[in-house]
A and B are shown apart, each in its own frame.
Chain A
Amino acid sequence: MKNSPSLDDQVEMYRKMILVRRLEEAFGALSKEGKTRGPIHRCDGQEAVGVAATAMLGADDYLTSTHRGHAHYVGKGVDLHGIAAEILGRSTGLCGGRAGHMLVADVEKGMIGGNAIVGAGIPAATGMALSNQVLGNDRVAMTIFGDGASQTGIWHESLNMAALWKLPVVYVLEHNEYGLTVHSSRQGPTEDLSTRAAAYGIPTAIVDGNDAIAVYRAVAEMVDRARRGEGPGFVECKTYRWEGFSTSDMGGYQDPETIAEWKKRDPIEIARAALSGHIEDAKLDVVRTQAEEEVQAAMARALADPLPEFEECAYTRPYSEVL
């Protein structure tokens, strides 16, 4: 099928989804022990979106993310230990502990960056696409955002301009049914949010967000179009948030039965099932074990790393001195 991932791509997506899942679980456990700081937004059950949507991008393509960006970071090739250390506020973190888990950036990998102002990543990627067009390069900008973010005004303003100016940007909606604690049916009148993108003349696709191959195919087509200068594309990935909104969530508003139903459709298991028959189980077990060990090692190293010391820089000196 057109735009299908190769078997190697599939194994890599499988591996990265395991990295993300184990990372989320590790942070969930640490948070329960009181060893993390501030809220952490886990993406368990949604890994296929971030990992598969970014799988066909190069390091010089741009990605903007949200407060729930761990799968996006890993998908874009950001170093796992650097992510873990940043979330733990260590000096060895990708941003030296200044940013924290919602705001990670790694410019070399084209990941710029996490964003905790809901919706803000959408014009951010659109501006990067504008820059690509002005410079005449063939880079693509992508933004992954939620159903909640799709209710913001800047979503509409950005899509309008992207369509108007045929900007090389791909909009990936990670629809996990909730914006914080409020179900999407109480945030907007239509079930599919991509119908709004269609209203701007942007080609759209709706896919099973727990199926990495489906996500990959739909997004790859949009990325190709954008790279060819044919303008923006929009992919709506239907998925579901297994864990609470964040580690501070007191819960009580998600139906346990719905969660259980979605857990039967674990994106990692779906990816594995698609590989079996093509690659021996034993080989896939090795991939899994190695990924798990990689997470353990990254976490152990990050936990042992030092906290930063407050450094003098242009920003920390009084404004009067910097002028």
Chain B
Amino acid sequence: MAKLRYAEALNTALREEMTRDPSVFLFGEDIGTYGGVFKVSKGLMEEFGEIRVRDTPISEQALTAMAVTAAMTGTRPVLEIMYADFLPLSLDALINQASIYEYIWKEQVQMPFVLRTQGGGGAGAGAQHSKALDALVAHIPGLQVVAPVTPSDARGLLKAAIRDPRPVIFLEHKLLYNTRGEVDLEDEGLIEIGKARTVTEGTDVSIFATSKMVIEAEKAATLLAADGISAEVIDLRSLRPLDAAAIQLSVAKTNHAVVVNEGWKFCGYAAEISATIMELCFDDLDAPVARVTLPDMPVPYSQPLEDAVLPNAEKIAAAARATLG
């Protein structure tokens, strides 16, 4: 076992897949010479050359459309979009191009590309560099969306995403890159897309969380344990396809559910999970599903303001207590 930083685990996955498959190539802003602003592609341009690891101009709209068609014609592109806040620029390529072709062209094409990006707040980066726009991409049929939290999951899901025949949006979080965790480099470590991960087992309330919010949910579980409440924390990990079976199993056990996502509430990712629980687990529920999200507003810059709006362990614990009545 090796103890790796999240960024290193991603770097390892990229290196492994590029070594295994010469059709895998990377492109994006500042990923080459500098190795990426979060250093995820560090050393890869030196190792694989400038054709396969390419610095690009600031052209997200075109880059995303190019990833779609490069993937359609024999390569496996991994495109880095530096901040999730820039995803709106990629949306036409995702919604009107990537999502439709395989179906409307009767399975004549597939698009095995990965779009890596990172979102979320807590770094004082302001309203245009702090958003979690999970719902925006998870809304699109034909795309898979994953959001690993641990270094081991980061490596395993990235490798699986690169090998997958269909598009995968790979969501990272800026405050995860320096977190450390065990990674078994002896093992191929592939993680099936579409499977949730049970972080902590519990019996009183299920907390379904995504990305960095899983860490907050774990802290919330500790706070709740002090009050004698047993919380089960589930890392959804694969935002789409969703592991509905894992959700059902957990709610059948606890009869209470809290959904945590760092995006907006209205039409947000937590709304989808909440509706899914209502559809699948109505008879198991003893209380309405609670949502803990960003309020429907921009992420402010100043520390006390940003702290006030971001979901955190205390807010999650309070929501759990409230559902338990």
Taking Cβ atoms with an 8 Å cutoff, the residues of A that contact B are 37-39, 89-91, 93, 96-103, 115-119, 148-149, 151-153, 179-182, 186-188, 248, 252-253, 307-310, 315-316, 318-320
Contacts and interface: CB of A to CB of B under 8 A. Distances in A.
B223 interface: no
Contacts of B309: 310, 316
Residue from the set A100, A148, A151 with the largest chain B CB neighbour count within 10 Å: A100
A98 B301 contact: yes
Contact of B58 (A39, A148, A253): A148
Contact of A103 (B30, B32, B301): B301
Residue from the set B34, B59, B126, B265 with the largest chain A CB neighbour count within 10 Å: B126
Interface string B100-138: 000000000000000000000001111111000000000
Interface stretch (B159-167, B175-183, B291-299): B291-299
Contact of A116 (B58, B59, B126, B305): B126
A44 B149 CA distance: 38
Contacts of A152: 57-59
Given A98-B300, A179-B58, A307-B304, A38 B125 contact: yes
14 contacts: A37-B303, A38-B129, A89-B303, A97-B300, A101-B301, A117-B128, A152-B58, A181-B34, A182-B29, A182-B30, A253-B33, A308-B302, A310-B304, A315-B297
Interface of B: 29-30, 32-34, 37, 55-59, 61-62, 85-86, 123-129, 265-266, 295-298, 300-305, 308-309
Given A89-B305, A151-B58, A319-B266, 8 more contacts: A38-B124, A89-B303, A97-B305, A98-B302, A101-B301, A102-B129, A117-B85, A307-B302
Contacts of B305: 89, 97-98, 308, 310
Contacts of B58: 118-119, 148-149, 151-152, 179, 187
Contact of B297 (A90, A118, A316): A316
Contacts of B62: 153
Top 6 A-B residue pairs of the complex, sorted by shortest distance between their CB atoms: A100-B301, A97-B302, A89-B302, A38-B124, A37-B124, A151-B57
Contacts of A103: 126-128, 301
Q: Name B's interface SS.
A: loop
A103 B33 CA distance: 29
A39 B125 CA distance: 7
Given A100-B302, A151-B59, A180 B128 contact: no
Q: Name A's interface SS.
A: loop
Contacts of B265: 318-319
A153 to B, nearest CB: 6
B301 A97 contact: yes
B308 A310 contact: yes
A93 B297 CA distance: 20
A163 B265 CA distance: 42
Residue from the set A90, A91, A98, A188 with the largest chain B CB neighbour count within 10 Å: A98
Contact of A153 (B61, B128, B301): B61
Contacts of B55: 182, 186-187
Nearest to A95: B301
Residue from the set B62, B297, B298 with the largest chain A CB neighbour count within 10 Å: B297
B260 to A, nearest CB: 17
B74 to A, nearest CB: 26
A100 B124 contact: yes
Contacts of A307: 302-304
